[in-house]
Amino acid sequence: MFQEILASYGLQFDDYKIELHGSGLINYTWKVSGVENDYLLQKINTTVFKDPIHIDENLVELRKFLDKYSPDYLFVSPLPNLKNETMVVVNEEYYRIFPFIKNSKSADYVKYADEAYQASRQFGQFAKELDGFDTRKLKYTLADFHNLSLRVEQFKSALKNASIDRLQQATAEIEELTHLDYIAIKYQELIQNGKLKERVVHHDTKINNVLLHDETGEGICVIDLDTVMPGYYISDVGDMMRTYLSEANEEEKELTKVFVREEMFFAIYRGYMEEMGEVLSISEKEQFIFSGKFMIYMQALRFLTDFLNDDIYYHTTYSEHNLVRAKNQVQLLKSYLASEYIFEKIFQENSLVK
């Protein structure tokens, strides 16, 4: 398999060492190391991405736009093979090869505020460089991925169909998320009233989707572009808040470890707004803090819904895994809401939002 793929790029199999690379949970990735050049080989998970060609078409369109308007921007897209194809099909599996960015590293969690700043600035620059792109040219690689209204309907359906046992186990979380449904109501109002502009959105802004310089820690570029689709900027900012603010991730069982680090909020705010502050409309800027509530609430709903549905979507390793994840995200949301007055102060005092 590897030999056939490399040959399609004019690469001799015997000249390269191939080993698994990274900590991604969706696609399989290998580092292809050679004497002169290194590459990343990736197999697309077609269980998640039903139409891999849509991913490829999206990246081709974005590449053309950036080559024309921002030729110096580092956009890590798949390399063309000898047939000028950026995707190779072998045994009905879809593969791409990317250049390996030298002197780069990625992090699995945010330890320092500067990491949050560097990452948020990279995602901000990504959005800024594509501000003029016609989003109608993009395909939806994951339909309704961040559609909170749909997630609420799925939650309500799960409540009707769940077993009594699971409903009883999740009583506190069901009550909590039902009580916080004003977040979903506000989201719907924002969409209906046109307060948010449809933009090119990454949709998966975890820290490991940014490359940092391995010595200086400076942000280099954004990677993992399979979820780039039309959307709203609150998805990207909200996902950074959900995954950067707490040192403990969504798998943490000890809820006392799940709390917001306020310095991380300012780092996200500063990095993203330095790039997008002059691009976002006033009505969009006003939703910056809401972004965190939107994303954390939605993820809590998704985990709890899956628990009520007997764990049909997320991979679990024990019976209450999704319930623990939901409890974790509810705790993070509570901490976020408790810190909201501090976020408001940062928002009001910093000139970047004016």
Domain range list for the chain: 2-100, 113-353
Q: pLDDT at position 268, please? A: 97
Q: What is the average per-residue pLDDT within 198-210?
A: 96
CATH superfamily of 113-353: Aminoglycoside phosphotransferase (APH), C-terminal lobe (3.90.1200.10)
Give the mean pLDDT of 183-207: 96
Mean pLDDT score of the chain: 93
For Cα atoms 283, 285, 288, give the angle at the middle one, nearest 5 degrees. 120
pTM: 0.92
| 3-state secondary structure (DSSP) of residue 231 | strand
What is the per-residue pLDDT for 354?
A: 44
Whether the predicted pLDDT of 213 surpasses 70: yes
Specify the pLDDT at position 10: 87
Can you give the pLDDT at residue 26? Answer: 64
Q: What is the mean pLDDT of residues 199-227?
A: 95
Distance CA 212, CA 112 (A): 13
Q: Which two tokens stand for residue 278?
A: 């002059």
Q: Which DSSP state fits 104? A: E
**pLDDT digit string (tens) for 246-277?**
999 999 999 999 999 999 999 999 999 999 99
CB within 8 Å of 291: residues ≥ 6 apart: 233, 234, 235, 237, 238, 241
* pLDDT number for residue 351: 60
Q: Which residue reads 């339909």 in tokens? A: 143
- Asked whether residue 24 carries a pLDDT value surpassing 80, the answer given is no
Distance from C-alpha of 217 to C-alpha of 106, rounded to nearest angstrom: 10
Task: Please give the pLDDT value at position 278.
Answer: 94
Residue 147 sits at the vertex; the CA angle it makes with 143 and 152, to the nearest 5 degrees, is 125
- Please, which residues have CB within 8 angstroms of residue 279's CB and are 6 or more apart in sequence? 127, 128, 131
Tokens coding 212: 């940092």
The Cα 116–Cα 263 span in angstroms is 9
Dihedral angle over CA of 335, 266, 297, 293, nearest 10: 100
pLDDT band at 238 (very low <50, low <70, confident <90, very high): very high
- CATH entry 3.40.80.10 includes domain 2-100: no
pLDDT in tens, 69-111: 999 999 999 999 999 999 999 888 899 999 999 999 999 899 9
Question: Predicted confidence band at 326 (pLDDT cuts at 50, 70, 90)?
Answer: very high
Residue (of 62, 55, 69, 205) closest to 124 by Cα position: 205
